[in-house]
Amino acid sequence: MLLSTSNSRHLIGQLVLLGDSGVGKSCIVLRFVRGQFDPTSKVTVGASFLSQTIALQDSTTVKFEIWDTAGQERYAALAPLYYRGAAVAVVVYDITSPDSFAKAQYWVKELQKHGSPDIIMALVGNKADLHEKREVSVQDGIECAEKNGMFFIETSAKTADNINQLFEEIAKRLPRPTTS
Ligand code: GDP
């Protein structure tokens, strides 16, 4: 949804996170919204939806309304309830887990089949701080993203690396209302 006033622009980005359980979706949201890394508060986060507003340099503000699928993503039949109608889908994998990377590619296909045709998709390789345990190369992430017209970034919810950048890059890609 897009709202605009004469002086400034306010955008709302409805965003859903998808990916294997344990890749760090809840931690990414917590880091972005509360600025903290707290793996223990997963249930609280999963039970509700969170929102966070950011300001861009061009005086646009973007309010993200974030749905963390928190486990339900394992039940394929329920997943479309989360991403149908979402403006943004963030597909997360863990750079130490090739299985989670394969699962991310599954979600990308699902989104292409059932998501809104103009959905903005980001591919996120999380846990980038665990570089000594890396099993998915940066190049593999880039290639997958390019093939599917996605924005790609590696993040660490633990160290906060690239978390704000992820949401800023998404915000920049949200369509602006046309002025007449
Ligand atoms: P979800 O099931 O995808 O929501 O995953 P969680 O957010 O619950 O994270 C699963 C576990 O991964 C947590 O207990 C964290 O300890 C760990 N984790 C999440 N993000 C990171 C990260 O960026 N780096 C590291 N080292 N661990 C992380």
Tell me what pLDDT residue 77 has. Answer: 61
Tell me what pLDDT residue 103 has. Answer: 94
Tell me what pLDDT residue 76 has. Answer: 60
For 3-173, CATH gives 3.40.50.300
Domain residue ranges in the chain: 3-173
Tell me what pLDDT residue 135 has. Answer: 98
How far is the centre of ligand 1, averaged over its atoms, from the C-alpha of 98 (Å)?
16
How far is the centre of ligand 1, averaged over its atoms, from the C-alpha of 128 (Å)?
11
Q: Is 111 in the pocket of ligand 1 (CB under 6 A)?
A: no
Nearest residue by C-alpha to atom 14 in ligand 1: 39
State the closest ligand 1 atom to the C-alpha of 156, by its place in the atom list counted from 1: 23
Q: What are the average pLDDT values for consecutive 10-residue runs of the chain, which has 180 residues? A: 61 89 91 86 57 90 83 59 82 97 94 90 98 98 97 98 97 80
Concatenated DSSP letters of 101-163: HHHHHHHHHHHHHHS-TT-EEEEEEE-TT-GGG--S-HHHHHHHHHHTT-EEEE--TTT-TTH
Roughly how many angstroms between the first and final C-alpha of the chain, as a whole number? 18
How far is the centre of ligand 1, averaged over its atoms, from the C-alpha of 86 (Å)?
23
State the closest ligand 1 atom to the C-alpha of 19, by its place in the atom list counted from 1: 3
